[in-house]
Structures are given as C-alpha cells and as structure tokens.
Amino acid sequence: MTCHPAFQHKRTETIESLGIDVQEYVHTNTGALHYHIAADNQENVFLVAFRTVPEDNCGVAHILEHTALCGSRNYPVRDPFFMMSRRSLNTFMNAFTSSDWTAYPFASQNRKDFFNLLDVYLDAAFFSRLDPLDFAQEGHRIEFSEPNDSDSPLVYKGVVYNEMKGAMSSPVSYLWQTLTRYLFPSTTYHYNSGGDPEAIPDLSYEQLLHFYKTHYHPSNAVFMTFGDIPVEELQQRFETQALASFDKLDEEIAVGDEKRYFSPVRVEEAYALDDENISAKTHHVLAWLLGPSIDLEQQLKAHLLSRVLLDNSSSPLRYALESTDLGTSPSPLCGLEDSNREMGFMCGIEGSEPDKAAEFEQLVLDTLAKVAEEGVPQEHLEAALHQLELSQREISGDGYPYGMSLILASLSSAIHRGDPIALLNLDPVLAKLHEEITHPDFIPSMVRELLDNPHRVRLTLRPDAKLAAKRDAAETAKLEKIRQSLDEKQKQAVIQQAEALEQRQNQIDDETLLPKVTIVDVPAQMRIPHGTEESLQGFKYHFYPQGTNGLVYEQVIIDLPALSEAEQQLIPLYSHCLTELGCDGKSYQDTQAWQSQVCGSISAYSSVRGSIDDEQKVSGYMTLSAKALLSKQAEMSSLVYKTLTTVRFDELSRIRELVSQQRTRKEQSVTGQGHSLAIMAAASQLSPGGQLSHNLRGLQSIRAIKALDESIRNEDNLKQLANALEALHQKLLKAPRRFLIVTEAEHQQQVAETLAAQWQDVTTEDGFVPFTLPSSRSCVTQAWTTSTQVNFCAKAYPTVPVEHTDAAALTVLGDFLRNGFLHRTVREKGGAYGSGAGQDSADAVFRFFSYRDPRLSETLADFDASLVWLQESELEAQKLEEAILGVVSSIDKPGSPAGEAKQAYHSALFGRTPEQREQFRQRILRVTLDDLKRVAATYLKPEQASVAVVTSPAAAAKLDEQFEIIAL
C-alpha cells in the first residue's frame, strides 16, 4: 500500500457490503492516527479530531472549538472559517464539540476546493492564534450595559455563552446533562462539555491556552478521510502543512475507568419552567452504566437488547412506557448511548409528577423481570437483527455526506483507541449474533445482567416556575458585586476591551490571504437523477435506477383532495397515525412488530407547495414511504398496501397516546428550532402555503395540539376525533395515486411485478377535486412567549415565486446580506449564535432570522440596517461571487442515491423539473450587483415587513405595543 514516507501502513480491510477499502496508518514521529476510507466517490471528506477531556463545567473544549477558527499562523484574518464558507463549493463545513472529542470536518466535490479547505483547517487546528479578543467574543466577557458608562449595570456577553443559555433552556438537554452528572460521578462525562452558563464566566484565557497546547497536538489527534483522492496525496499535505512541525507528546490523554456504584442512586432535581401550570411536566429516567463501547461484540449485543426492549410499540419496555398512566409518553432519552467510553442504557417517561418516581422505577424493573423470566418472541429478535443489518447496508447522505456518516459512525472507537474499522464492518459480528440469538436464554441472560447491575441512577427532574427568576437574580447580584469591586482602572479596562473588540470586529481583513474557488470552478451542469414513467400490464409507475446497495425504496403518492380547515388541521396527526396504528386486523403492537420484520422504515408525510409562477396557487400530496432489503421487498409491498387500505382508527387509547406524544415533542422543539418557528410565524399570512405551514408545523400547531390533547380526555371527543380521521382517510383513498420505485436497474422487473400484483385491481373514483387554499397576503407583528433564556427573531417580506425573473437575485441577496452585514452585526457584535437571510420561492417570501439571540428590538433594527448598508455601500464584485458560490454550493449539494431520486421526483411533481432547476441555477450565475440593490428596493419595503419573535414573557413585556403577545 503506497503511503507517504512519514506514515506507516498498519492494515487494509475491504468491506464489500459498503464498497469501500478502509486503511489504517500511523504517523511515525508523532503517533497521529489516520484512517482512510477509499471509495469511488468524488465527494471527498476530511475530519481531524482531538481527544478533549474537560474537568469542569466552564466549556473550555467548546469555547476553544470556536476560538480556534478565528485566525491562524498562515491565515491571520479574523474569521477564516466563515470567510472560507463563502469562498468555497463545500458540501459540508462545521466543527463539533462532543463529550470527549472535538472535531473539524468538511466535504467537497471539487478537488481544488478540498485542498483549499484542508490547508485552512490544518492551520486552524494546529497553529491557531487564539487572540484574547476572539476568546472574549466567542467565549465570554463582561461589558457595561450602557457603553462608556461605568455606572450602568454589567452584563455577560459571548457567543458560546448565549448558545449554551439557549441549549440549557431545553428541558431535554438539561435532563441529559443532569443524568450524566450522576451516571458518571468521576470521569469527564460528569461535566457539561458545552459549558454551563453559570460556570462559563469562570474560564480564564490562560486556561484556554493551556488546554489548547496539551489537547490540540498530533499525538492526540485522529485524522479520518473518505473519497477518491489517493492517500499519499492527503498525507503529503498533513505532513508539510502540520505534522512535520511537531514531536511526540509524552502525555497520553484518555478517559479513565468510571468509579462504580455499589447500590442504586436516586435523585431529584429541578429545571426552570416559566409557566404557571407545572402539573404533568416532570421527567423520570432510569439509567445503567454498562461496559466499554470499543468492545464491538458487547456494543452490538447492547444495541440488540435496546432494540428488543425499546424499538417500537411491540417491544415490552416501550409498550410499558407508552401505555402507563404514570406519564404522558416515553422519554426522548430512551435507548443506548454508545459514544462515551462506557455505554449507558436508559429509559424514562415524561409528563409525570414528582411523587410517581418509585412507581415508575418499579414499572421498569417489573417489566424487565418479566422479560428475564419469559424471554421475547424469536421473531422480535430476528427483526431487531434485521434492522441492524439494514442500517449497515443503507447508503445514507441526505443529512450528512455519506462519507461523513461513515466517519462519524466510527470516530468514537478511534478516539478511545479501539477498532473503528470493525465498527464499519458489522457483517462478521452480525453473522455470529444470528447464531447466538437462537439460544432461548440470549435476551433473558442480558436482562438479568442489567437487573443485577448496581450502577443504576433514577433521576426525577421536576419543573420549578421560580427557578429562572432565582437564577436571573443570582446572576444580576453576581455582576453587581463584580461591578462594585472594580476600581476606576479596572472599569476603564472593561470599557477599553469593549472598544478594542468593536474595532477588531469592524476591521477589514486581507481576504487575498485565503485560497478560494471562483465561478470558473463551478460545474457546468447539475447532477439530477432522471427517472422514467413505466407501464406493466396497465399498471403505471415511475422508476429511478440508482445504486442503493441492495435496498428498495417504494412510495405511494396520493393527490391531496379539497379539504376543509378542520380536515387540514388533522393532516399531521393523520400522517403520524397511518403507520402507528394497527392494520389488517392486527393491533398496533403486532403491526409494529410486522413493520420491524420486513422493512427498515415506513412513514407518511404531506407536502404542499406554491406553483412555480404563482405562490397563491398551491397543490399537495400525501406520501406513504418505505424501504427494505431486496429479499424483503414483496413483504414490504404487502405491508404498504395493508397500511393504506386497512388502517384501524378504532384504537382509541392509542390515538390518545399519539396525540400526547406529539404534544410533548412539539413543546420540546421550541428552544431547538425557535428560529424556524419564528420564520413560519412571520411569514404566516404572506402566502397560503406559509399559513398552512404555520398552522400544521409552526407555533400555531403547538397551541392546537395542546388544545386537542386536553379535549380528547373526554371519551366522546376522542371518538369524534377518530371518526374525523377515518373520514379524512376515506377521502384520500378515493383520490388519484401514483407510485415510485428506486433501486438498482437489474431489480426493476422483479420489484415492479410485485407492486403491480398488489395494486393493479385497486381503483379510484372519478370527479376528484384537487386541494386548494384561499389567497393570503397580509402582515403580522407577533411575540410568542415560552420558557427560554434567549430569543429568536424573524422578519419577512412578500416577494415573488421561483419562475419570476427576480427570484434568482433575491436568492443570492440572502447570502450577500448574511456574509456582508448580518454575521458581523448580529452574531459577532450582538452575540447571537446564528443569523441569516434568504428567499423562499415556494411561498414567495424573503426572511431574516436570528438564533439563540440575547437581543430582540436591536436585532430587528439590524435587519433593517442591513438594507440601508446594501443601498449606501460600494458593493464588491468579489462579495457577489462569494454569495453566488454559496447558493450554487447549496443547490449542488449531493444526497444519498435514493434521496436524490426521491427529491427529483417530488420536485417535478410541483413543476420543479430538472430543466426548470437547471435554468434557475443558470439565472443564479448571472445575478449582478445592480440586481441585488434593485430587488431589495423593490420588495423589501418597511411597510410590507411582517415580524415574529419567540421570547420569554418578561422580554415580551418590554416590546413595542404594536406587538401582539401570544402565549404558547
């Protein structure tokens, strides 16, 4: 195996099921590890990770991750990461802080771009400048609330500080951090690696530097790459750009063995909930610490046990948690956590009361004792193993690049000095497990081991309506104490730091120091899969031949009929119920067991979009989608058919459970997706599609599902709901339908024959009336209040649909405003974790947004200021090119083979054919600076602005009286 002389080749393993070769190398001088996944794939991926093991809650690893990307030895500019994101055709760029590692990954389909990014990433990781002002901006600082007024109150600022305030506003995030604090009493997982907002201000700049010098060293690094670039070429860059400058580090950074409990621990803590009604808001979780995650056989057995117990409603522990009246639904923390050095298994309920803790624990232990005594049906074991096999075979890539998914799947094992190659090649261990599960005591013995494990934690997390106010008061008192302790010289130092930071944020860097790609490097054409409409004995279907590694993707797409407002409101619940209720006379538990046995997933969803030339004219579809191994395709087709034609809406208690679960998930989504929800609210009256999105998926849907959940506690109302769902279902059964198949070309005939035999005799009725919505084009000014320590702001303007000649310029304008003004003003100066702008041509709306933002009115004013800046500034052609590159990079971003085919088909349903998409891309490339000024002046007028924010009740009370305040 040819590699660079500075590296030693350790081994190569071919994984035929994935079509890859995985190679392991070690850097001779420093001991840095390099794992290369050689694949016939032009989307090359790079990641360098460091073992980062914090020993407190100050967030040093997280703040270092941010600060390391603020300038380096060869690229002494203030913000190379964000500058490169717009000088690149990357398909992925980011940085992650996990509980025990920090990683810097990117991906690109362009070789020149890949090496540009590689040079910048290597320099940032190993030769970061770590300017104290960048630490103050990204981490934390104190400033006077009134600039230059040393008598005004002090406030904390910092991007990570605000990010973690937002993260810890989520009850689920707080639940997780609290649980790990007790489950891991002595190792690094005891601490919040992201940083506790109360502890972040305790981190000093000197501590940051020390952590960097000890942790960001090649001896503590793991390099992982994927793609078709030769490994020697990659290692040449690693060596010359970074590794040759280092010697081996004597210190080995690692996570030690956790101190074990000899008896179970039971604790109760509180979380902040800014709500008068705190009943049924308590979480209970039971968690066990298991064995090492790097033991592949132990890990897969633990995964198998977790799936058997919790995978679906036919699983004994999941069923117990779903059906108990001790809480409203299972906890989001149900399952196996295998990314830490030692694994954890956990289960829980939410929507409970503090005094139910003992009953909850007994329910779990009794359920496990029953499994230990009686075992589980053999077909459930085989189904769980089938799911593991399918997840091993599927070529993903719709969320992350495919190569990134493989790298992240194996990274934890590499970090803990295990065998990441084994984690990518599960087939040998799966074959062994197929043999072992035939033994009747396989699952019972593992459950008994769990029951006998004394390292068990029962956590009760109850709401406290006064906790947020107490914390705020404590922070205010702490800051006032600091202010009073400052002498005049120290006060001036605070003011001078704020001034110096502002000067640094305003400085114009020499961007020519950074490499770039240009419009010339943009591929001439898009890569869009092309399918065909086929007919088999009169049965029509669409087929896309794609390399799916032996999987078959099947969809039934139903034209949405005309629906009343009440029926429209039922669409999300109907979609969820369709695959969560029983069918073919079976109960929902038996149906879910059937699903697990024959397919990788089955789900239903609706899609409604505006026309390409008129956003007021909408169309919609309901899609039932499933995937399976080719060997299971016939059984999957039968399942899909039975699901659609025989679903049972008579399982009333199950419908009540599903409504309750939906309510909980929606309520929990606010602090994580607040910007998306604010955007939907701001755009809610500007188009029919926008109004529907707000009602079905946005903030209004949270209010609606809460009201529905309350109402169906009455049995008559529950029956009425079931009848309404059945009536909607009957409407859909009569609507026209179409079929989509995605798989390898050689399997087309076999799959189509099965599908045709299943559906050929099923007819739909004449006289179909298609889905429409009334026109909508008006403004809102709203403040939605919830329990949050940070804000989410959005402002929207009515614009034009995608076929209008101005749509391309508006699309580029979003990136141009973010790059040129919003990032610096809202994120760096304002302290928000994120901000941006963009055109949504489906609803003909242009939107501004901020994410985890400490400000409200000031940010909304900054949105307006960006438009003034646009008109009054001398705009640079280079900045236009960067914005165009960003848009094209987003358009060209690849997905999985199946995902790309499904996207191409569904886009064409709404008029976004490959030809239309290609023409729009060409219009993007022709946008001029004059176009940007013109479309902004034409459409983004102050009197047409629509505004929505998500904030706390206290912050909302300080807003202008024009805001309509709506409590969630």
Q: What is the pLDDT of residues 376-426, one digit of tens each?
A: 999 999 999 888 888 878 878 777 889 999 999 899 999 999 999 988 888
Residue 765 pLDDT more than 90?
no
Query: Above 90 in pLDDT, residue 8?
Result: yes
Domain identity same for 66 and 125:
yes
How far is the C-alpha of 97 from the C-alpha of 216, rounded, in Å?
13
Q: pLDDT of 237-253, one tens digit each? A: 999 999 999 999 988 99
Show the domain range for 959. 781-967
Q: What is the DSSP letter of 226?
A: E
**What does the pLDDT read at residue 1?**
67
Q: How far apart are the C-alpha atoms of 603 and 624, rounded to whole Å?
A: 6
The full DSSP string for 894-945 is: ---HHHHHHHHHHHHHTT--HHHHHHHHHHHHT--HHHHHHHHHHH--GGG-
Q: Answer whether residue 762 shows pLDDT above 80.
A: no
3-class state of residue 776 by DSSP = coil
Percent of the chain with pLDDT over 90: 88
492 and 539 both lie in a single domain: no
Residues 355 and 386 in one domain: yes
Start-end of H helices in 465-614: 467-485, 488-506, 565-580, 588-598
Residues 324 and 433 in one domain: yes
What are the C-alpha distances in Å from 640 to residues 73, 601, 625, 749, 794? 58, 11, 8, 19, 40
Does residue 614 belong to any structural domain of this protein?
Answer: yes
The C-alpha angle with vertex 831 and arms to 826 and 835, in degrees rounded to 5, equals: 40
Residue 537 has pLDDT above 90, yes or no: no
* Position 564 in a domain: yes
DSSP one-letter code for 561: B
* pLDDT value of position 373: 96
pLDDT of residue 309: 97
* pLDDT tens digits, 320-374: 999 999 999 999 999 999 999 999 999 999 999 999 999 999 999 999 999 999 9
Task: Say if residues 774 and 618 touch (Cβ distance below 8 Å).
Answer: no
- CB proximity list for 329: less than 8 A, separation 6 or greater: 321, 322, 349, 350, 351, 657, 660, 661, 664
pLDDT band at 172 (very low <50, low <70, confident <90, very high): very high
Residue by residue, DSSP assigns 344-374 as EEEEEEEEE-GGGHHHHHHHHHHHHHHHHHH
Both 586 and 616 in one domain: the answer is: yes
Both 655 and 543 in a single domain? yes
pLDDT of residue 517: 93
Cα-to-chain-centroid distance, residue 537: 43
Q: Is residue 145 domain-shared with residue 233, that is, in the same domain? A: yes
Tokens of 569: 């409101």
Q: How many structural domains are present in the chain?
A: 4
Compute the distance between CA of residue 322 and CA of residue 661 in angstroms, rounded to an integer: 9
In a domain, 285, yes or no: yes
Per-residue pLDDT, 102:
97
Q: Dump pLDDT digits (tens) for 705-732.
A: 999 999 999 999 999 999 999 999 999 9
Does 348 lie in the same domain as 313? yes
Q: What is the C-alpha separation between 140 and 508, in angstroms, rounded?
A: 23
Is residue 764 over pLDDT 80? no
Q: What is the pLDDT of residues 732-756, one digit of tens each?
A: 999 999 999 999 999 999 999 999 9
Vertex 793 angle, CA 792 and 799, to 5°: 135
Task: State the amino acid at position 267 in one-letter form.
Answer: V
Q: Let me know whether 55 and 158 are in one domain.
A: yes
Q: Is the pLDDT of residue 511 over 90?
A: no
Place of tokens 């040393």: 150
C-alpha 62/C-alpha 135 separation (Å) is 11
Residue 520 within a domain: no
Average pLDDT, the chain: 94
Residues 625 and 572 in one domain: yes
pTM, two decimals, is 0.92
Vertex 380 angle, CA 378 and 381, to 5°: 65
**Per-residue model confidence as pLDDT tens digits over 799-825:** 999 999 999 999 999 999 999 999 999
Buried b (16+ CB within 10 A) or exposed e, 87-97: bbbbbbbebeb
- Considering the domain architecture, whether residues 454 and 494 belong to the same structural domain is answered as no
Domain boundary among 759, 789, 806: 759
Q: In this model, does residue 115 exceed pLDDT 80?
A: yes
**From the CB of residue 632, how many other CB atoms can be counted at a distance below 10 Å?**
19
- 769 lies in a domain? no
> Residue 940 — pLDDT band, cuts 50, 70, 90?
very high
Please tell me which residue, 549 or 103, carries the higher pLDDT value: 103
962: Cα separation from own chain's centroid: 34
Judged against a pLDDT cut of 70, whether residue 887 lies above it is answered with yes
731 within domain boundaries: yes
Residue 582 lies in a domain: yes
Q: Write the CATH number for 727.
A: 3.30.830.10
- pLDDT tens digits for range 121-169: 999 999 999 999 999 999 999 999 998 899 999 999 999 999 999 888 8
Enumerate the β-bridge partners of residue 96: 103
Task: Say whether pLDDT at 763 is over 80.
Answer: no
591 domain residue, yes or no: yes
CB 737 within 8 A of CB 764: yes
Residue with tokens 């961007």: 511
Confidence at residue 672, expressed as pLDDT on a 0 to 100 scale = 87
Q: Do 751 and 617 have their domain in common?
A: yes
